[in-house]
Amino acid sequence: MTGDLFAGLPRGPSVETITEGALLLRAFVDEEEAAALMAAIDKVLAASPLRHMQTPGGFRMSVAMSNCGQFGWVTDRRGYRYQSLDPLAERDWPAMPEAFAALAARASAAAGFAGFDPDACLINRYEPGARMSLHQDKNELDMDQPIVSVSLGLPATFLFGGMARTDKPQRMRLESGDVVVWGGPARLAFHGVDPLRDGEHPLTGRCRYNLTFRRAR
């Protein structure tokens, strides 16, 4: 019953290898840093609001998205791409907050990717039921650059597939403060997120945010 004794206490940091090139840094972000990231997210979203984008096939994504940095990832009937213009706000995406850049640098260095300098950060917001089906991230120019992902708020079940869409995915729980660095052979792996389970989190309320730092160009 130690689970009851320790419920609500912060988890200690730890490192796990998911597969070659993919490092899970559990509790890499503490509650103080998470609160600073959340405040920075709110500022970005005041300038470039969350929106449900359309897939090229015409489906509305259940995950609401925005971006910051020099480039933002967008999808619409014309396809998936990075662009400097936010099509909703009709201006450039907000600058990458200092707290974001500092975390991306710390996490990538901890995983052995020196000099990672992201020019894009996609902000995903999952409400209960929102999901992301298995996909590869391949709209970036240089696949030698890693992607750093940061989970905040409600926990999610992350799906990590193999190099083929048909490989049976392994499921893992990502919690608030967990960071994953995806590089090397893991960079083009299929991945997704199961429908978010309802809940309440002190940092975010009834949702999960995921930040993914990328080098788009």
Query: What does the binding site for ligand MD3 look like in residue numbers (CB under 6 A)?
Result: 122, 124, 132, 137, 147, 149, 180, 182, 186-187, 189, 191, 193, 210, 212
Q: How far is the CB of 2 from ligand MD3 (least distance, A)?
A: 29
Q: How far is the CB of 182 from Fe ion (least distance, A)?
A: 9
Torsion angle, alpha carbons of 16, 193, 44, 22, to 10: 30
Near Fe ion by CB under 5 A: residue from 29, 113, 137, 208: 137
Task: Tell me the C-alpha distance between 9 and 14, whole Å.
Answer: 15
Q: How far is the CB of 25 from ligand MD3 (least distance, A)?
A: 12
Residue from 165, 137, 163 nearest 149 by CA: 137
| φ and ψ at residue 4, rounded to 5 degrees | -75, -40
Q: Which is nearer to Fe ion, 86 or 137 (CB)?
A: 137
Task: Determine whether 8 is exposed, middle or buried from the number of CB atoms within 10 Å of its CB (0-12, 13-18, 19+).
Answer: exposed
Got the DSSP string for 122-143? EEEEEPTT--EEEE----SS-T
Check if the beta carbon of residue 175 is closer than 8 Å to that of residue 157: no
Q: How far is the CB of 182 from ligand MD3 (least distance, A)?
A: 4
Task: Tell me the C-alpha distance between 176 and 24, whole Å.
Answer: 13
Q: How far is the CB of 174 from ligand MD3 (least distance, A)?
A: 7
Q: Which is nearer to ligand MD3, 6 or 167 (CB)?
A: 167
Q: Which is nearer to ligand MD3, 13 or 155 (CB)?
A: 155
Got the DSSP string for 158-207? EEE--SSTTSPPEEEEE-TT-EEEE-GGGTT--EEEPPPPP--BTTTBS-
Distance from CA of residue 165 to its chain's centroid?
Answer: 20
| Residue 140 found at the interface with Fe ion (CB under 5 A) | no
Scanning 9-17, 73-81, 136-144, 149-157 for contacts with Fe ion by CB under 5 A, the matching segment is 136-144
Site string for Fe ion, 56-75 (x = CB under 5 A): --------------------
Given Fe ion, ligand MD3, none, residue 108, with its beta carbon under 5 to 8 Å by kind, binds: none
Q: Which is nearer to Fe ion, 31 or 76 (CB)?
A: 76
Q: Which is nearer to Fe ion, 91 or 173 (CB)?
A: 173
Residue from 46, 35, 52, 37 nearest 94 by CA: 46
Residue closest to ligand MD3 when measured from CB atoms: 210
Which residues bind to Fe ion, rule: CB under 5 A? 137
